[in-house]
């Protein structure tokens, strides 16, 4: 499966770039990541526990960086073996572009699974991969931008619900 998306991060490209190469940041961003060790040059070994549909497994695998263009982008590829659960592998082409607010991070992700994961989980794998990618970059963004304040977090859900909302619901019920 493949998916493309982008997010705007309130930090300069060189800050974002440094974060991408930081294994601590990687561990914080990979959902379900238990440990990351290694280096940019040799690759990182990561242990990740995830549940895909009916299959829960701990994957051990390598994360490698390639096509490194400092400050502009790179390719992250990973392959994890989950023992009897099979394997998962995937990659993300990441691009950084400066924008007035900071940095636009665009990514193209492709992922594939094999073994029991594919046999039992194929129907949900696309949604799962999208969720994983979204979550990865969401967490990455949060880690770079720093913790969101409580006030902001509470304010956010209020935004899409304008004042007329309850009335509209009531009106709709009446008509329905």
Q: Tell me which residues touch another protein (CB under 8 A).
A: 83-84, 86-87, 112-116, 118-120, 122-123
Q: Which position has the token pair 């963004």?
A: 141
Please count the other Cβ atoms lying within 10 Å of the Cβ belonging to residue 153: 10
Q: Is the Cβ of residue 68 or residue 118 nearer to another protein in the bound state? A: 118
Q: Is the Cβ of residue 84 or residue 147 nearer to another protein in the bound state? A: 84
Give least dist CB 49 to another protein, A: 15
Return the structure tokens found at 71: 């400050």
Give least dist CB 117 to another protein, A: 8
Q: Is the Cβ of residue 63 or residue 125 nearer to another protein in the bound state? A: 125
Alpha helices in the chain (DSSP H): 13-20, 23-29, 116-145, 150-158, 165-175
Return the structure tokens found at 64: 């490698």
Give least dist CB 85 to another protein, A: 9
Write the DSSP symbol of residue 23: H
């Amino acid at each position: 499966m493949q998916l493309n998306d982008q997010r705007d991060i309130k930090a300069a490209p060189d800050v974002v770039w440094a974060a991408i190469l930081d294994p601590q940041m990687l561990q914080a961003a990979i959902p379900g990541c238990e440990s990351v060790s290694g280096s940019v040059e040799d690759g990182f070994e990561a242990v990740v526990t995830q549940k895909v549909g009916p299959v829960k497994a701990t994957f051990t695998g390598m994360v490698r960086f390639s096509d490194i263009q400092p400050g502009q982008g790179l390719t992250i590829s990973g392959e994890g073996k989950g023992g009897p659960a099979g394997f998962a592998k995937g990659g993300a082409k990441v691009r950084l572009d400066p924008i007035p607010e900071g940095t636009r991070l665009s990514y193209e992700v492709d992922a594939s699974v094999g073994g029991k994961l594919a046999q039992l989980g194929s129907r949900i794998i696309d949604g799962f991969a999208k969720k994983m990618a979204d979550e990865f970059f969401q967490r990455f963004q949060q880690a770079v931008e720093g913790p969101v304040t409580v006030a902001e977090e509470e304010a956010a859900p209020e935004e899409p619900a304008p004042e007329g909302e309850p009335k509209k619901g009531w009106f709709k019920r009446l008509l329905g």
